[in-house]
């Protein structure tokens, strides 16, 4: 009877140790997968079946965002030229030319 208790204790101890090892390995596998996905997001992915164009990395995506922001700011700067600002804008120049040539005078009704 005493031997049966020793065997049961040994089986329980080995089973518990295996469970701890299994959980530790499972946690490590999940963590490595997450780190792998993070690395793919940061570095990008090469083209492969199912992803023919690949995927750009973080720095490439940031450069694209910065370029689009620069384009938007350039468009906004161009719109500023259509407002009067005291003499330096395109609209001020057109107004000066119109006044000098008489184009601003109202036409006489027939």
What CA–CA distance (Å, rounded) separates 84 from 96? 11
pLDDT at 34 over 80: yes
Mean pLDDT of 5-13: 94
Residues above pLDDT 90, as percent of the chain:
32
Q: Given pLDDT bands bounded at 50, 70 and 90, which one contains residue 21?
A: very high
pLDDT at 109 over 60: no
- Chain-centroid distance of CA 47 in Å reads 19
pLDDT at 74 over 70: yes
- Give residue 107's pLDDT: 57
Please choose, from the candidates 85, 83, 87, the residue with its C-alpha nearest in 3D space to the C-alpha of residue 99.
87
């Amino acid at each position: 009877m005493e031997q049966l208790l020793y065997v049961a204790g040994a089986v329980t101890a080995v089973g518990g140790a295996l469970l701890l090892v299994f959980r530790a390995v499972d946690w490590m596998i999940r963590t490595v997968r997450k780190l792998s996905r993070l690395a793919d997001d940061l570095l990008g992915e090469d083209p492969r079946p199912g992803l023919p164009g690949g995927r750009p990395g973080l720095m490439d995506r940031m450069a694209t965002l910065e370029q689009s922001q620069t384009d938007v700011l350039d468009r906004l700067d161009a719109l500023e030229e259509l407002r009067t600002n005291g003499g330096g804008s395109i609209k001020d120049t057109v107004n000066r030319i119109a006044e000098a040539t008489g184009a601003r005078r109202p036409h006489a009704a027939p």
